[in-house]
Amino acid sequence: MNDPGERVETLIVESGGDRLDAYVADHLDLSRTRVQGLVEEGLILLDGRPARKSERLERGQEIEVRVPAPAPLEVEPEDILLDVLFEDTSLLVVDKPAGMVVHPAPGHSTGTLVNALLAHASDLSGIGGKLRPGIVHRLDKNTSVLLVVAKTDAAHQALSRALQRREIKRLYQACSWGHLPRSPLEVEAPIGRDPTNRRRMAVVESGRYAMSHFRVVERWLGAELLEVALETGRTHQIRVHLAHVGHPVVGDALYGAGWERGIGGRAHRWAQMFNKRVSRQFLHAWRLSFRHPVSGEMLRFEAPLPEDLSSWVEWARSET
């Protein structure tokens, strides 16, 4: 009998030759390390027998995978400094730094924005559940970003509807390698899971509609500072679209690793030096605007570039 919450998946191998651990990881969106652990626990069967992680698969074989329910996480308030730009009885607006995970998950049970919020305000909306109280939208850990947090269920529902109607507007600043072919530049290209790497997103025909608008703010020797507006909110949208047009985000290890080495001419040395200075992806959500869910007042907030990003901009300017 399965444990409550246990996930059971059955896969029929469509083509042979892959290692079992790689095949299961790719098809079930699990890490290979996680799959290997399931194999060692006897939770993966191949044609009814315990599987071996390194064995090669043959077409038509059946794989049964049992993924135990995750251990419950207890979310504790933590006294973590928050940069709160606005707060009333309905919501908060927070400037989240890069590197801070938004909500607890396996491997990130402490130090998250939710841990900090629970210490700051005990009356957050419960719609997001115990792990995501007040959280209206998903956000990238490695992006510094302005975000709105709901304190009541009514505010949460209203903000979620506004998000779906694209009435919550956000402007980003990004730095991309090379020079865009023109400015402004619109990129309309569907985004979905990368079929060759489940950790990444990609422009794929079967993906969801996505539209991004890019405008050059400053042009440097081997890179540009951009202002970015999104019409849609797909996962990693800015990073995927810029990589798709051949100008990935500076410091983006997932979509632009090593790209600076391809810059030629006198910009080559500049790009190498700039890349050594940049320690994270150069992406910052600096402006947020939306209507207050209760008063209907239009609210607008701005956050300057964080100190690390602004120091890299100063270097880029001085060396161009």
Write the pLDDT tens digit of every residue in 193-238: 888 887 889 999 988 999 999 999 999 999 999 999 999 988 899 9
Give the pLDDT band (50/70/90) at residue 107.
Answer: low
What percent of the chain has pLDDT above 90? 53
At residue 252, the pLDDT reads 95
Query: Residue 261 carries which DSSP code?
Result: G
Q: Is pLDDT at 2 greater than 60 in this prediction?
A: no
Give the pLDDT band (50/70/90) at residue 110.
Answer: confident
Question: Which H/E stretch holds residue 177?
Answer: strand 169-177
Q: Is pLDDT at 127 greater than 70 in this prediction?
A: no
Amino acid at 287: R
Closest CA to 234 of 177, 179, 194: 194
Give the pLDDT band (50/70/90) at residue 131.
Answer: low
Whether this prediction's pTM lies above 0.95 is answered by no
User: For this structure, is 140 an active site residue?
Assistant: yes
At residue 296, the pLDDT reads 95
Average confidence score pLDDT of the chain: 88
At residue 126, the pLDDT reads 66
Query: Residues 88, 140, 194, 308: which is the catalytic one?
Result: 140
Q: Is pLDDT at 71 greater than 60 in this prediction?
A: no
At residue 217, the pLDDT reads 97
Selection from 16-30, 99-113, 244-258 with the highest mean pLDDT: 244-258
Of residues 26 and 206, which shows the higher confidence score?
A: 206
Q: What is the largest CA-CA distance in the chain?
A: 67
- Burial string for 42-71 (b: 16+ CB within 10 Å, else e) reads ebbbbeeeebebeeebeeebebebbbeeee
Which two structure tokens, joined as six digits, stand for 219? 């042009």
